[in-house]
Structure 1
């Protein structure tokens, strides 16, 4: 049986092993010539692709252990964010931030720099404080800021290159509740006021259909304790799915369909525990490219790519998603030069996307952007070196941790061998 990613565009012929114990995992890694780990398959790039062995740690026997000071917890790396945040909630704890979906594994989310939104909040890799790794010989190693520090610094955003993570020490905070508000605003108004919105709200983002003149604005704020919300999603998908199917059948209709979509009233509110409000159901399959721009150039880049789409009446069927993320010091993080504006470009999985993404990527790169590692991009080894000053040190640590390249695949070998 072949393995596929969430969107169906990445396929691998390797068997998928679901070990029950760390010993079983170690034996499998030791015996394999090549091995990659997978979580929920939410990477659009072929990060998990393998011809020999893929391992999934969802079924491994493991428990959550909270530190005595309640500032960190040691979590099973293969747990989904949904499972982890529910377990933390039972302990009166939470992650400080999450993205807008939660099926990804903790290890996968950290390994790719997955993020939410927030002026003062970094990507999920910034929450890591230590890792237990199964190396190519099956031996377990611990790394943190003082024990194997170079390995830790590289592993914080690892792309799965340094071993199979089985346990991650993660920073946590006291549990909190959120209020979510969804509303329709004019693009001109949001563009003018976005910086002030970012200052006023803990979380703010918007979705912008490129052929329409309004945006869907979403804000999240901390609130008083309350019950879980009745809905598990911020927006209902039925009408959007219907319009996407029409647009896939008749692409020239996409601009009209988007303007029709935005005639709908968007005015929603939810309240509840943070881990039930951050994520929403996303059941429509799509492909995605995301570029992290220097925050100062984000709006200019979005203006340019939307103008290009409108000028050519291109059938880009999904809205752009625009968020801000704090800077960090992680070697291979797209946020390590300072705060960024994250611009996500999606396309319905039933429609062509490669040429659209390639042309848009040129615009994003011209504005100083660097891609999300798990979203579609065409970086070469030379690109990696020019964008990341620590790339060769990262490779040096990789060679020391995995001399025979057991954790490489064709995609990663081209960039990091």
Structure 2
């Protein structure tokens, strides 16, 4: 049987989750196996076409946009191999199209887990690592740091098995490179024995959080906080490992009330109110901030890391040198108070260890991530422009999958290995099969 495709009629229009990007590809192809993937890539290159893989559509940028071949990896989503290691960890080979939610369940069934995760799990693995998805933890890196090997189909239709010891430069671009090295067919992850976390959530004054920030970040396995614009209130979240016999689950009723009714249902209503009456946003946020309550519970790591996000939004996130995050937040607070710009969504602040991935936002430095959001039915340009200007003053690096205005000239100054990435890209995709407007803007043209 052949790959699933849209045939001769126009493919259906595509748009991403946030409604910030749309496309009408010439055709949509969903290869059933590696052979069909190779054939699709090689034939596209042979006719001088363009191809972009698309996952769950959770990137806010145009990373997946194409008017030619849109590739879906849904059928390349199985667990291929598990290699146990002496310390109890393992190398697990999975199809690159696997959804994180499915991956987490498959690992848990084998007594394993990802070392760290972001806060949603609907993305494909390929999309998550290719755009630099991360969680939080001062001693931990993003998802791509957990990748130890890749099976990659390059523009010519060649299949490469790459790793830190086998074509390490191509491996660098494959595991975090916006899909410009080729199409990921499979990924080898270094995973750890399954573990449990104790989650402690607590309202706290923003001034207190900032005053004690180093102790909070360094004193917890995973620390993050949310700050409500137009208020002095924050919600801190501390997740720490506990032994397997520690049981303090969140009651089904508390989960329903907190995570569904309040975090999604009521929050959706307040955002619709904010869109209708923007001047009410400071009062709405003040009420929301005062309504926060503390809670503590334990659970499997993936269950604690992941939150359900049902309220649609637009997002910009910048990776800052950790030492500058307090000053940036104070300047943002001053700008919001001075302009009165209505922002009903909280900012999310997370942390990561330095790493050596060429295009990682945490390359070479301790990092604080500041994510600014706006309800998708409200204007975001003025707010995001101000945030980008303030973050840029301290050398902030934008998340590759979230909205930003930087181009190749500026990004070349922020990433010391961007030229290396372009050199490898030119080697494996000299005619630009995997290019699109967004890729050309941020990495520079090739082909």
1:265 to partner: Cα distance: 3.2
Query: Aligned to 2:120, which of 101, 126, 145?
Result: 101
Query: Aligned to 2:409, which of 382, 386, 389?
Result: 382
Tell me what 2:108 maps to: 89
Inter-partner Cα distance in structure 2 for 1:164 and 1:271: 38
Deviation by residue 1:335-361 (Cα, 9 ceiling, x = unmatched): 112111100000000001123212220
Deviation by residue 1:326-383 (Cα, 9 ceiling, x = unmatched): 1100111111121111000000000011232122201100022111111111111210
Tell me what 1:416 maps to: 444
Does residue 233 of structure 2 align to residue 205 of structure 1?
Answer: no
Tell me what 1:401 maps to: 428
Query: Aligned to 1:163, which of 158, 182, 185?
Result: 182
1:24 to partner: Cα distance: 1.8
Given that 2:248 and 2:297 are in contact with CA atoms closer than 8 Å, whether structure 1 keeps it comes out as no
Deviation by residue 1:21-70 (Cα, 9 ceiling, x = unmatched): 12222222222211111111111110000001111212236324111324
Q: Secondary structure at the match of 2:139?
A: coil
Query: Aligned to 1:10, which of 9, 18, 21?
Result: 21
Inter-partner Cα distance in structure 2 for 1:227 and 1:104: 29
Tell me what 2:374 maps to: 347
Q: Secondary structure at the match of 2:180?
A: coil
- C-alpha change, 1:4 and 1:332, in structure 2 (3 Å) is same
Does residue 52 of structure 2 align to residue 36 of structure 1?
Answer: yes
Inter-partner Cα distance in structure 2 for 1:305 and 1:62: 44
What residue ranges of structure 1 are gaps of 5+ in the alignment?
Answer: none
What residue ranges of structure 2 are gaps of 5+ in the alignment?
Answer: 1-11
Does residue 247 of structure 2 align to residue 245 of structure 1?
Answer: no
Farther off after superposition, 336-345 or 178-187? 178-187
Given that 1:228 and 1:273 are in contact with CA atoms closer than 8 Å, whether structure 2 keeps it comes out as no
Tell me what 2:9 maps to: none
Given that 1:183 and 1:268 are in contact with CA atoms closer than 8 Å, whether structure 2 keeps it comes out as yes
1:227 to partner: Cα distance: 8.7
Tell me what 1:177 maps to: 196
Inter-partner Cα distance in structure 2 for 1:268 and 1:245: 27
Query: Aligned to 1:258, which of 272, 275, 285?
Result: 285
Written as runs of structure 1 = structure 2, the 5 A alignment for 1:309-388 is: 309-388=336-415
Q: Secondary structure at the match of 1:276?
A: helix
Inter-partner Cα distance in structure 2 for 1:53 and 1:73: 30
Tell me what 1:299 maps to: 326
Inter-partner Cα distance in structure 1 for 2:340 and 2:420: 44
Written as runs of structure 1 = structure 2, the 5 A alignment for 1:103-118 is: 103-118=122-137
Inter-partner Cα distance in structure 2 for 1:262 and 1:62: 43
Farther off after superposition, 150-159 or 90-99? 150-159
Q: Secondary structure at the match of 1:236?
A: helix
Q: CA RMSD in A?
A: 1.6
Deviation by residue 1:105-133 (Cα, 9 ceiling, x = unmatched): 11111111110000100011111111101
Given that 2:100 and 2:123 are in contact with CA atoms closer than 8 Å, whether structure 1 keeps it comes out as yes
Inter-partner Cα distance in structure 1 for 2:223 and 2:386: 28
Inter-partner Cα distance in structure 2 for 1:13 and 1:371: 27
Tell me what 1:190 maps to: 209
Tell me what 1:67 maps to: 83
Inter-partner Cα distance in structure 2 for 1:197 and 1:410: 41
Q: Secondary structure at the match of 2:79?
A: coil
Given that 1:3 and 1:16 are in contact with CA atoms closer than 8 Å, whether structure 2 keeps it comes out as no
Does residue 163 of structure 2 align to residue 151 of structure 1?
Answer: no
- C-alpha change, 1:61 and 1:104, in structure 2 (3 Å) is closer
Inter-partner Cα distance in structure 1 for 2:329 and 2:414: 21
Given that 2:346 and 2:373 are in contact with CA atoms closer than 8 Å, whether structure 1 keeps it comes out as yes
- C-alpha change, 1:133 and 1:228, in structure 2 (3 Å) is farther
Does residue 38 of structure 2 align to residue 22 of structure 1?
Answer: no
Tell me what 1:50 maps to: 66
Given that 1:66 and 1:73 are in contact with CA atoms closer than 8 Å, whether structure 2 keeps it comes out as yes
Given that 1:271 and 1:277 are in contact with CA atoms closer than 8 Å, whether structure 2 keeps it comes out as yes
Query: Aligned to 2:263, which of 232, 236, 242?
Result: 236
Inter-partner Cα distance in structure 1 for 2:373 and 2:199: 23
1:280 to partner: Cα distance: 0.8
Inter-partner Cα distance in structure 1 for 2:371 and 2:187: 28
- C-alpha change, 1:228 and 1:139, in structure 2 (3 Å) is farther
